[in-house]
């Protein structure tokens, strides 16, 4: 398989650094300080991967991403970004970027990310049993075809982790999954934040008859109210201020496949009537159009709210609830399946050791006991972040212990801040990671270094000394 890469960065020093590291590792590389010249080259001969800076004078990384996704869907895209653009880059991944790399980065980290991309592509080829090119990085979720019995009957894919754990509640969820995945009926997944609702939704899609069809995910809670209808159903050019061109919505993109409506109870009550129409009549109208469009879309919805309360308060339509609640699924909070905590911890430990290129580790019994004693208000997501931090602090130690997990910079951070910090962690050096944590704490305290130091359980002097490394302004 060819491994041709186009690099785009208007900083010639960084561009040369990336080019040399790739060329020395047998990648075919073309480097451009001009994004426009790069796109012309890409249009003439599409590479396997494009690595582009986010903030450039000529055009943005978003512009490059949009052009490639539209014109060369088989080409992968990785963004290179500064600290301040991490959230923006995560959103870009939802639009089709495979990954993002934060500045500054080491040559080892850079190559690790590139290798991950090509490993992902190779696995996609193998999973599909073909040498035909697949879109690279256009979806972060797996699209493995369903396993087949020799009789041709579909078999539940049990060769990968489903929901980690052996508790009765998890076994029950797996049994339900076997029954509901092959149907086309709507499914409502309820549970607290961090319990794994989206994981379960992905498993339903992967084990359905639509596994190789489009799978579109919409986070309803993150959509501005004025864009909800357009995002779901699309719009005609000129239908409202800012509608400068025609746009297809999520339902059209998911036609023939599956649409995940994450946090469906956050959708405006007026838009819910249109959702109900799609479910009942399998048709909708674009914003600004009187022409109905037919679609065949399976709906999987999630919510972390009490649906009964949402209905009683007038935030959610009861008729829509009954329509999507054909197969109600409730994901239990981690406190209700605490017997699964050791298995989850070992799973995440193995995952992050592999992801960061560290040696595999055993988890100390004292740490396991500590994990079982915690309340985990953030559920599985909080445990995952906790283990990720511990693995990063342990580096190549053979045993993961309390000293790694309860390291000084983490010990007294509240759950929300800890999850906010670790949710942005790419692979990075410890010093770089600490700077991100300090910046996050300063954001939380409106720049007050003393309060940030209290959050991080370090001294004021520690904060000041580390900020000197990045010329951060003093109070």
Q: How far apart are CA 211 and CA 298, in angstroms?
A: 11
pLDDT of residue 93: 61
pLDDT of residue 132: 41
Backbone φ and ψ for 253, nearest 5 degrees, come out as -65, -30
CB-based contact 54:80 (threshold 8 Å): yes
Q: How far apart are CA 320 and CA 322, in angstroms?
A: 5
Nearest 5°: the CA angle 101, 124, 70 is 65
In 2-130, the DSSP E strands lie at 4-8, 28-32, 49-53, 76-81, 99-102
Tokens 């490394």 belong to which residue?
A: 469
Report, in angstroms and rounded to the nearest whole number, the Rg of the chain calculated over CA atoms. Answer: 24
Fold of 162-330: Rossmann fold (3.40.50)
| 3-state secondary structure (DSSP) of residue 330 | strand
pTM: 0.56
- Give the pair of three-digit tokens for residue 385: 């972040």
| Dihedral sign (CA 118, 210, 175, 317) | positive
Q: 430-444 vs 449-456: helix axis angle to the nearest 10?
A: 120
**What's the DSSP call for residue 147?**
E
- Contact residues for 56 (Cβ-Cβ < 8 A; gap 6+): 8, 9, 10, 35
- Give the pair of three-digit tokens for residue 401: 């212990």
Q: How far apart are CA 445 and CA 45, in angstroms?
A: 49
pLDDT of residue 161: 38
Span 4-128: which CATH code? 3.40.50.2300
Spans of all domains in the chain: 4-128, 162-330, 336-468
Give the DSSP H/E element, type plus range, for residue 18.
Answer: helix 12-23
Span 336-468: which CATH code? 1.10.8.60
Instruction: Tell me if domain 4-128 and domain 162-330 are identical in fold.
Output: yes
Q: Where are the alpha helices (DSSP H) in 214-282?
A: 228-233, 250-253, 269-281
475 residues of the chain, pLDDT tens digit each: 568 999 999 887 788 888 888 988 889 999 999 999 999 999 999 999 999 998 888 888 888 998 998 899 889 999 887 644 444 545 566 667 888 787 767 777 788 889 888 887 776 655 555 444 443 443 433 333 222 222 222 323 333 435 788 899 998 998 899 899 999 999 999 999 899 999 999 999 988 999 889 999 988 877 766 678 888 888 888 777 666 788 888 999 999 999 999 999 989 888 899 899 999 889 888 888 888 889 999 999 999 999 999 999 999 999 999 999 988 899 999 999 999 999 999 999 988 888 888 889 999 999 999 999 999 988 998 999 899 889 988 887 899 999 888 865 544 455 555 555 554 444 444 555 666 677 767 766 767 777 777 777 676 777 776 666 544 444 4
Residue 411: burial class (beta carbons within 10 Å; 0-12, 13-18, 19+): exposed
| 3-state secondary structure (DSSP) of residue 162 | coil
β-bridge mates for residue 31, sequence order: 7
DSSP string, 88-99: HHHHHHHTT--E
Q: How far apart are CA 203 and CA 181, in angstroms?
A: 8
Tokens 């283990």 belong to which residue?
A: 387
Q: What is each CA distance from 258 to 187, 300, 386, in whole angstroms?
A: 11, 7, 32
Q: How far apart are CA 193 and CA 331, in angstroms?
A: 10
pLDDT of residue 376: 92
Q: How far apart are CA 448 and CA 467, in angstroms?
A: 13
- Residue of 301, 303, 299, 311 lying closest to 190 (CA atoms): 303
- Give the pair of three-digit tokens for residue 114: 């590139």
In 137-208, the DSSP E strands lie at 147-148, 154-155, 187-190
- Residue of 207, 295, 208 lying closest to 251 (CA atoms): 295
């Amino acid at each position: 398989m060819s491994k041709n890469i186009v690099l785009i960065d208007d900083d010639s020093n960084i561009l040369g650094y990336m080019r040399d590291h790739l060329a020395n590792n047998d990648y075919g590389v073309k480097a451009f300080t001009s994004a426009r010249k790069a796109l012309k080259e890409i249009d003439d001969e599409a590479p396997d991967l494009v690595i582009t800076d986010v903030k450039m004078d000529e055009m943005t990384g978003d512009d490059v991403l949009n052009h490639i996704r539209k014109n060369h869907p088989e080409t992968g895209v990785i963004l290179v970004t500064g600290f301040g653009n991490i959230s923006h880059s995560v959103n870009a991944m939802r639009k089709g970027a495979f990954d993002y790399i934060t500045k500054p980065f080491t040559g080892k980290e850079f190559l690790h990310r590139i290798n991950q991309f090509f490993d992902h592509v190779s696995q996609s080829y193998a999973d599909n049993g073909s040498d035909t090119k697949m879109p690279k990085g256009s979806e972060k979720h797996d699209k493995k075809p369903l396993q087949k019995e020799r009789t041709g009957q579909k078999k539940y894919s049990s060769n990968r982790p489903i929901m980690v754990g052996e508790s009765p509640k998890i076994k029950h969820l797996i049994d339900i999954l076997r029954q509901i995945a092959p149907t086309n009926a709507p499914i409502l997944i309820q549970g607290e934040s961090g319990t794994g609702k989206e994981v379960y939704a992905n498993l339903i899609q992967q084990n359905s008859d639509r596994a190789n069809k489009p799978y579109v995910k919409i986070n309803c809670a993150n959509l501005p109210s004025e864009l909800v209808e357009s995002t779901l159903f699309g719009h005609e050019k000129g239908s409202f201020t800012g509608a400068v061109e025609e746009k297809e919505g999520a339902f059209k993109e998911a036609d023939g496949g599956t649409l995940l409506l994450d946090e469906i109870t956050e959708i405006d009550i007026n838009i819910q009537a249109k959702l109900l129409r799609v479910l009942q009549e399998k048709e909708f109208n674009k914003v600004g159009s009187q022409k109905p469009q037919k679609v065949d879309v399976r709906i999987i919805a999630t919510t972390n709210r009490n649906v009964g309360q949402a209905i009683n308060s007038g935030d959610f339509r009861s008729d829509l609830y009954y329509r999507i609640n054909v197969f109600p699924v409730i994901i239990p909070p981690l406190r209700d399946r605490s017997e699964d905590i050791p298995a989850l911890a070992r799973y995440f430990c193995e995952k992050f050791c592999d992801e960061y290129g560290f040696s595999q580790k055993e988890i100390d019994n004292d740490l396991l006991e500590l994990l079982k004693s915690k309340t985990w208000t953030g559920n599985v997501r909080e445990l995952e972040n906790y283990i990720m931090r511990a693995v990063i602090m342990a580096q190549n130690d053979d045993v993961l212990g309390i000293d790694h997990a309860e390291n000084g910079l983490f010990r007294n951070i509240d759950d929300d801040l800890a999850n906010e910090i670790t949710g942005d962690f790419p692979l990075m050096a410890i010093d770089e990671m600490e700077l991100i944590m300090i910046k996050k704490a300063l954001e939380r305290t409106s720049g007050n270094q003393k309060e940030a130091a209290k959050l991080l359980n370090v001294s004021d002097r520690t904060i000041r000394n580390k900020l000197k490394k990045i010329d951060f302004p003093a109070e």
